[in-house]
Structure 1
Amino acid sequence: MTTNLDQFVRSTISQAEWLVHRYDAPRDAFQMIQVDRATRAGIPFLVDEHLGTPSLRAFRRADLPACSTAPMHFIFHSAYCCSTLLARSLDVPGVATTLKEPQVLNDMVGWRHRGATPAQIRPVLDQSLALLARPFEDAESVIVKPSNVVNALIGGMLSLRTDAHALLMYAPLPVFVASIARKGMWGRLWVRDLLKKQLADGIVDLGFSPGDYLLHTDLQAAAVGWLAQQALFTRLATAMPHRVRLLSSEVLVSQPARSIDAVAKLFGLRLEEKSVAALVADNFTRDAKTGAAFEVGRRSQDQADGLALHRDEIEKVVVWAHAVAEAAGVAIAPPAALHLSL
């Protein structure tokens, strides 16, 4: 017999605007919030800081029925590499809907750090992905761009979605280190917090002892985190050569139309050449996070200004990181680059 609760749950699940947002581990329940397409497109990340106070519904995980899902693909990244710009560019009604850093995947990481086992996480992660894979239109694919704190779960996510393809985005080492230096104290605190989480995830294997990390400067910590992610990306690309490709931020920015076309082919999206040109014109002239107009050449100028201000420290850290990478067998330029057709 169908109850009012069953009808309420099914009604919620059937509407893509009800986004799975949080996982409450003690109650084994999901929180879902009402966020329409325009709102999702207008904010940089699907986290509380940007979502405000939308309508909320909570359901026990056991009460949720199976839902109809779309093809799902992923944009994973190592931060500050234009992944938000690419995700925004691929949000095309009727073709794909993109989810930028949904909070529920961060919750999986937090739960893991609090002691949850892989056997506990796997079914919840699977159900989270299914709930995320509900498109606004029937013909659409769903492209998820998780936060980079989720990177330790990439292998598990791809094993749960065997039809999914993944793009791994990164900024070249000097660009990444300079970006952190340019962001001042908050950027330096961020990389240390990230490194702490990477150590908890067990993905840092560069030959250092635990005490060594306390002796590293902030930009050395940034480089260590970058190298750990590059090592992870290399392992993934090597293990799944037909499903995983890498793309540099500098390639995306310098060749946006060819990059978007190549990503669309990787994900099986139907984008016409005219549509790609329109996406570039609309998205590559605006700040990916704020939507404000972005002056031509501003990114290059910002990079040059940051390098000029911190040149000595950046250059020393880059040389040091290359030596660490060589000793640990980490490829500075990882394999399996996305192929850009002429």
Structure 2
Amino acid sequence: MISPDNRTNITLEPEWLAHRYQPDGDKIHFVRVPRAIHQSVTFISDEYLPGNLERAIYDRQDIAAPLGSDNPVHFILHSGFCCSTLLARAFDLDNIAMGLKEPVILQDAAGYYFAATDKQKAGEVVRNLLALLARPFNPSETTIIKPSCIVNGLAEPFMRMLPESRSVIIHAPLPVFLGSIARKQITGRLWAREQFAELRKMDLIDLGFDDDQHFRQTDLQIAAAGWLAQQAIFQNLVQRFGADRVKTIDSEMLLANPNEAITAMSDLYQLNLDAEQIRQIVDGPAFTSHSKHGTEFDRKGRDEERTSGESPHADEIAKVAFWAEKVAEAVGIDMKLKAPLI
């Protein structure tokens, strides 16, 4: 492990990514991630980051950064498999904006916050970690954070801590989401159960079922239950903060209307992008290459992948989607979110 010369470097240099939070000892783990690496990796997690990057560990109280600077901070919130990574890549714009793709430290923060008995201290920790992520690579840039969907339970505190922040919520329509889970086979089904388990642990799933009833549900029912829990979180955010700060869009609307969506996001985030800059984003790699693999991938490729992968599961997807609609109706969850982006 290589440590920086002093704590000031850690606080001032945005290359030192606040990477993990260690509640035992109240320590923050940093890793030095140049912007070029941010741009090249799918997510800023150890699974994707090079193993030879410089690292350092400091006591949180020794390097705590103030929250609330002149640098704007906004969010891309999502429920998984819905083009959120595409959007984070789209807003990686030198001297304008920088998208942070699923910083792991926010997952640590969520786990710590929801397990903590002292919510005041836990809130202070979250504020410090968020402030460290908010540091821009360039003073003129807006920081746009795309947390993991496991972190959505902290979205309301984030918005309260940063009263000038705005959020775009993107989700896939439920049948599309279920199709994504199904065509990924065991990997997708395990992901859905793991996400559900984490949300359940944070007490963020309340659909009227007890643990025994959830245990008896199929993989796609569990995936749908997790999707509904996320919809409930998003619905609350729209109600609490209003359409001036929170806008929603689904993946199909984004892909069908990329120019309008990016223009509306630019307006919401107050980036002042002109028509040529928006054209470059829509014609650029975010929309023309696979967010996870980097290979060429357009709307036609997405549709072909979806059709071939989902056809064997069409009956199951339709039945689970119908079941989920009835559950949503019973507990008051909107299947279609308000405050549309476009």
TM over 0.5: yes
- Number of aligned positions between the proteins: 335
Is 1:248–2:246 an aligned residue pair? no
Residue by residue over 1:296-337, the C-alpha shift from the partner in whole angstroms, topping out at 9 and shown as x without a partner, is 501111222233111111111111111111111111111111
- 2-structure distance, mates of 1:61, 1:69: 23
Structure 2 spans left out of the alignment, 5+ residues: none
* Aligned equivalent of 2:279: 277
Kindly provide the CA deviation profile for residues 54-109 of structure 1, in whole angstroms up to 9, marking residues without a partner as x: 10111111211546662100011000000000010011011001100001101112
Separation in 2, partners of 1:197, 1:6:
34
Match in the other structure for 1:24: 22
Determine if contact 2:116/2:122 at 8 Å carries over to the other structure.
no
Return closer, same or farther for 1:30/1:233 CA change in 2, 3 Å cut-off: same
**8 Å Cα contact 2:19/2:30 also seen in 1:** yes
Query: 1:35 aligned to 33, 41, 47, which one?
Result: 33
- State the Cα distance separating 1:270 from its structure 2 match: 2.2
Q: Matched residues, percent identical? A: 38
> In the alignment, what sits opposite 1:307?
310
CA contact (8 A) 1:69 1:135 kept: no
Q: Give the match for residue 80 of structure 2.
A: 79
Amino acid at match of 2:157: G
Aligned equivalent of 1:63: 62
Q: Is the CA contact 1:69–1:134 (under 8 Å) kept in the aligned structure 2? A: no
Matched, 1:222 2:223: yes
Distance 1:172 1:118 in 2: 34
Structure 1 residue runs without a partner (length 5+): none
Task: Find the counterpart in structure 1 of residue 183 from structure 2.
Answer: 182
Q: Is the 8 A contact 2:4 2:56 kept in 1?
A: no
> Corresponding residue for 1:50?
48
The equivalent of 1:99 in structure 2 is 100
1:263 aligns with 2:265: yes
> 1:168 is paired with a residue of what secondary structure?
strand
SS at match of 1:143: strand
- 2:39 and 2:193 map into 1 onto residues whose CA distance is 30
The CA distance in 2 between the partners of 1:151 and 1:66, in whole Å, is 23
Whether the 8 Å contact between 2:287 and 2:298 is mirrored in structure 1 is: no
SS of the residue corresponding to residue 18 of structure 2 reads strand
Q: Does structure 1 conserve the Cα–Cα contact (< 8 Å) formed by 2:111 and 2:202?
A: no
| Structure 1 residue identity aligned to 2:269 | F
**Shift of residue 252 of structure 1?**
1.0
Tell me, in whole angstroms, the C-alpha distance in 2 between the residues paired with 1:114 and 1:55.
31
Mapped to 2, the partners of 1:180 and 1:153 lie a distance apart of 24
**Structure 1 residues 228 and 7: alpha-carbon distance in aligned structure 2, compared to 1, 3 A threshold:** same
- Whether the 8 Å contact between 2:235 and 2:334 is mirrored in structure 1 is yes
Which moves more between the two structures, 198-207 or 213-222?
Answer: 198-207
Equivalent in the alignment of 2:295: 292
Which SS does the other structure have where 2:145 is aligned?
A: strand
2:336 to 333, 337, 340: 333
2-structure distance, mates of 1:87, 1:200: 28
What secondary structure sits across from 1:151 in the alignment? Answer: helix
Distance 1:239 1:113, change over 3 A: closer
Name the CA distance, whole Å, in 1 between partners of 2:322 and 2:64.
54
Cα distance, 1:196 vs. partner? 1.0
How far apart are 1:12 and its partner, in Å? 2.6
Q: Confirm or deny: 8 A CA contact 1:23 1:30 kept in the other structure.
A: yes
Paired AA for residue 198 in structure 1: L
- Give me the CA root mean square deviation: 1.7
Distance between the aligned counterparts of 1:77 and 1:117, measured in 2?
Answer: 28
- SS of the residue corresponding to residue 246 of structure 1 reads strand
Partners of 2:82 and 2:251 within 8 A in 1: yes
Distance 2:298 2:196 in 1: 33
**Matched-pair contact (CA < 8 Å) for 1:10–1:65:** no
CA contact (8 A) 2:4 2:10 kept: no
Q: Structure 1 runs of 4+ off > 3 angstroms?
A: 65-69, 112-117
